[in-house]
Amino acid sequence: MSKKEMHQRGWDTLDIIIVTGDAYVDHPSFGAALIGRLLEARGFRVGIIAQPAHDKPEEFKKLGKPELFFAATAGNMDSMVSNYTPSLKPRKRDMYSPGGTPGMRPDRATIVYSNRIHQTYPDAPIVIAGVEASLRRLAQYDFQSGKVRKSILADAPADLLIYGMGETQTEEIARRLQAGEDIKQIKDIPGTVWKTPVKTWKEELKGMDYIELESYTTVSEEKEAFARNYKNLWQQQNPGNGKILVQPHPKTIIVQNPPTKLLETQKLDEVYELPYTRQKHPAYKEDIPAIEPVRFSLTTHRGCFGACSFCAIAHHQGRMVNSRSIESLLREAKSLTKMKDFKGNINGVGGPTANMYSMECSRWKDKGVCTDKFCLYPEVCPSMNTDHSKNMELLNRLEQIPGVKKVFITYGVRYDLALTQPEYLEMICKKHVSGRLAVAPEHYSKKVTDSMRKPDRDVFEKFVEMYSAINKKLGKEQYLQTYLMSGHPGCGLKEMIETAEYIRDNKLYSEQVQDFTPTPMTASTCMYHTGIDPFTGENIEVATSRRDKKIQRTILHYRDKRNRKYILEALKTADRMDLVGNSWKCLVSGKSGMWESKKK
């Protein structure tokens, strides 16, 4: 991170400099650290400029000019999501900054960093990557501005964009630049996006198998076109057989190459076993809050075949699960026991979903993911191997490592998958739940769960019944931590009240309620912007005003006295005043009404 550290290694210059919006923590959960360690293992000299003050040009000069390229990333989160709440207020805390201090990364950080790098070193190649670049690689709806924005590559003075998990692409770009290639001629790497002049693109792509998406101008003006484009994009996110996508922009043509193939297990193992210190960089005096939940956790796999509408994992990590070997995970766990502040507890084992480890579909190897149906919606596909045996073996073997006292599952469990193998659920209830198990039914109205591509309520009820019976058998008092969402497309007042009644009747009240926030490249965001379900083409109800979204959220927080005004307004509008007791001074009560008077 400094010239002094370069000289301590005997380096006068660097090959690659990573500019990131996160503080530098040397842990595989931080993208800049993971890519930096991999490049270092391949013999490249790597530096990191973390959270530079973007209005100070000298910040971008402190490590000099790299021999090969700059890599710019907003960090582990999209900068607009990181900087603003769902109600578009500036966040008071940034988990990826020292001491949680907000304001350490600029809005639209990837564009800002690219501009500053280009101003400082006009001839230096620039590659942009990370979640922000990946999910804004084509024209996308931007919640903060309320409009469709151009591809981030059209706005940033960068040469290449890496989308998805970027190890393979970054390594190949580095090798080819080291061999003397011009970055402007590197246009064939899967998992990358490049741009080309409007006048010459058809000649450049002549003979290639590509799909021309509707232009930025068209999708920014026509919501139906935006929805069609989204479905087209979804269908081509298939490693191995996805096609090139081309989207015309006013001054440039954006070309997305097909997704890169998943890392082989051996390579994935190698990436996670690089010599990370799992510590913040010594330059920081304050702690980085984001490290604490993951410091002593193990990432078992990538990808998620759940494909929930509100989640962007399908477009970043992919819908196919890519798992590490048990032996690799055991080696990593043993390394944790040697850390001086390890207390004996591994506090997380999993990935985007804890119990998808080692699962795969019989079609993936030859055909990739299905483009016309979902793996888990409306029910678990019979082609999907839902065997939890390898997962169970891993948990058992982790427990046997000297120095390990407890192995907990703090990542969310997909309950429809857990239902397919009760012995897995019994095992984790017995040993691996620390009082509460996290699950995400998200909603209890079928209309809404259908728009989310989530299981129906009856599936959740079966899981609750099984979970309760198992804990009763074990003599344990353990609970479910249920995550819910308000304001999702497809949800109106009727559906929110239905969910609130269900929560009341089943004693499932939870403070864990997320207000739906449109984020780039999710199906739900497409629905929010267009009012169209991109998979069915049907119109869908959407709450878009801040007041409507706030009212929906308050309905699920019905115990909070501060919400009475909004709740009463909602009940009046929905003609559900039967849920109010005999007085406006309401308290939570039993099934005779959601709210009843103090006197009664």
Annotated binding-site members: 304, 308, 311
- Tell me the C-alpha distance between 160 and 191, whole Å: 10
- Tell me the C-alpha distance between 562 and 554, whole Å: 9
| Residue 320 CA to its chain's centroid (Å) | 15
Asked if omega into 378 is within 30° of 0 (cis), the reply is yes
DSSP output for 285-315: SS--GGGTTTTTEEE-EE--S---TT--HHH
Positive or negative torsion for Cα 144, 147, 440, 388 = negative
Rg (CA), the chain: 25
- Tell me the C-alpha distance between 104 and 417, whole Å: 40
Closest of 542, 553, 541 to residue 515, by C-alpha:
553
Q: Where are the alpha helices (DSSP H) in 10-87?
A: 31-41, 79-83
Judge residue 485's burial from the number of C-beta atoms within 10 Å of its C-beta, 0-12 exposed, 13-18 middle, 19 or more buried. buried
Question: Hey, which residues does 127 pair with through a beta bridge?
Answer: 71, 160
Which residue type is seen at 251?
Answer: K
Closest of 143, 134, 116, 114 to residue 126, by C-alpha:
114
Question: Would you tell me how many other CB atoms lie within 10 Å of the CB of residue 287?
Answer: 14
Type and span of the H or E element at 230? helix 223-235
Backbone angles phi, psi at 29, to 5 degrees: -80, -10
Residues 6+ apart with CB under 8 A from 561: none
Q: Annotated binding site for [4Fe-4S] cluster, which residues?
A: 304, 308, 311
| Residue 46, token pair as written in the block | 């790597």
Closest of 507, 454, 456 to residue 479, by C-alpha:
507
Which residues in 53-163 belong to E strands, given as ranges?
69-73, 126-128, 140-142, 147-149, 160-162
